[in-house]
Structure 1
């Protein structure tokens, strides 16, 4: 079987509510984010041509507006450059780590609710970036659980390429923390490195899968990050 490539693209810069976990924030891209999304479409066209990858004409993204906009704009750029019609498919499997019923509350609001509710213990100080911690709210996930969900989706979609398409590379537009934890589940990123890196807005990180060697990092730089960042997108 020919090697297959998962092209991971974090969404562009967007209008984010400050001091709030980013997972389900519904806001659109900024003007800078729109430019980033169009630029990455041109970058992916060049990258595919340089490496001889056949891009799948279906681009997958999460259901958050920032990811959908990024996928749509990069698809438009790709179509203009290649003459191929690209379509965008949203899938909840690519969402960032869910904070469940606490979605779109600020960090102080979440912590105050936990402090006031006798059912819950005070969360660890690093709860926002702790890979194992899951908020005690309906629908919440840990970062590792979110990464496992994304890793399973990446694997399934590359398997689908093998059986039903001539394409060798699949584009996924999603979220930094979920992609990083997925990379860990796939054996590409060591656990201790998850918190040391992030992803640049609208810049690809490409993972390769081959039957002989499994998953590996092919190209595209992780962003070195400050450990004081939240790790929530």
Structure 2
């Protein structure tokens, strides 16, 4: 059986609106983000070479511009490292956690809106990082819900490749920190407690693989360790 490794990659830095949650903002990579994507291609190529893996030519990315641009740059840089020209496929299932109708409002504006609406309770103090909290607005979801759709996509895509692959492969998924982080938890790669202590570095892949029993484990890459609140 071929070894199929999923590379989970958070997009590069982008032109984020100041003071606004980053979730699904429709803006492009900045100069640093473009360089991070170039560096990611080197990391992927080196990991593939070290472990004698092929780079799967179809790169999956979120439909957000920053993730698509990240995957586009990586695909261009890895053009000579795959057996056929790389292609990009964008999916809404890999999007960041949706804020629903509160998208692109500041945290203060969101909290003011909740306070002004008699139907809603005040959000938890750490609501932005609460894995299971969902804003009570149309279209919003929790981080756990976004991680669930993301994990489902990863499993489906890896399973499809596994059924036909005759060589060991790395399959790239370019998405967003919170949804990929929670996908890793739901796949059993990290613990629930780790959700508040870890995040993905921009454009530094976390490599995971599924064993013959269907269990997932991390096989490469480093998480960013968050400092505990004082």
TM-score range, shorter chain: over 0.9
Tell me if the contact between 2:208 and 2:218 (Cα under 8 Å) persists in the aligned partners: yes
Distance of 2:177 and 2:36 partners within structure 1: 15
Task: Identify the residue that residue 221 of structure 1 maps to in structure 2.
Answer: 222
Task: Identify the residue that residue 77 of structure 1 maps to in structure 2.
Answer: 77
Q: What is the TM-score normalised by the length of structure 1?
A: 0.93
Per-residue deviation at 1:81? Answer: 4.6
Task: Identify the residue that residue 6 of structure 2 maps to in structure 1.
Answer: 6
Please list, as runs of the form range in 1=range in 2, the aligned pairs for 1:21-40 lying within 5 A after superposition.
21-40=21-40
Distance of 2:189 and 2:83 partners within structure 1: 33
Per-residue deviation at 1:227? Answer: 4.7
For structure 1, the residue ranges without an aligned partner over 5 or more in a row are: 229-233
The 1:213/1:138 distance shift into structure 2, 3 A limit, reads closer
The 1:17/1:166 distance shift into structure 2, 3 A limit, reads farther
Task: Identify the residue that residue 132 of structure 1 maps to in structure 2.
Answer: 132
Tell me if the contact between 2:135 and 2:141 (Cα under 8 Å) persists in the aligned partners: yes
Equivalenced residues, count = 228
For the residue of structure 2 that corresponds to 1:216, the secondary structure is strand
RMSD across aligned positions (CA): 1.4
Task: Identify the residue that residue 175 of structure 2 maps to in structure 1.
Answer: 174
Please list, as runs of the form range in 1=range in 2, the aligned pairs for 1:63-74 lying within 5 A after superposition.
63-74=63-74
Per-residue deviation at 1:83? Answer: 6.6
For structure 2, the residue ranges without an aligned partner over 5 or more in a row are: none
Per-residue deviation at 1:17? Answer: 0.9
Q: Deviations over 1:67-115 (max 9, x none)?
A: 0000000110100455741111100000111111111111111111111
Per-residue deviation at 1:164? Answer: 3.4
Task: Identify the residue that residue 231 of structure 1 maps to in structure 2.
Answer: none
Q: Deviations over 1:149-174 (max 9, x none)?
A: 11111100000101234452210000
Matched, 1:103 2:103: yes
For the residue of structure 2 that corresponds to 1:171, the secondary structure is strand
For the residue of structure 2 that corresponds to 1:21, the secondary structure is coil
Task: Identify the residue that residue 142 of structure 2 maps to in structure 1.
Answer: 142
Tell me if the contact between 1:59 and 1:71 (Cα under 8 Å) persists in the aligned partners: yes
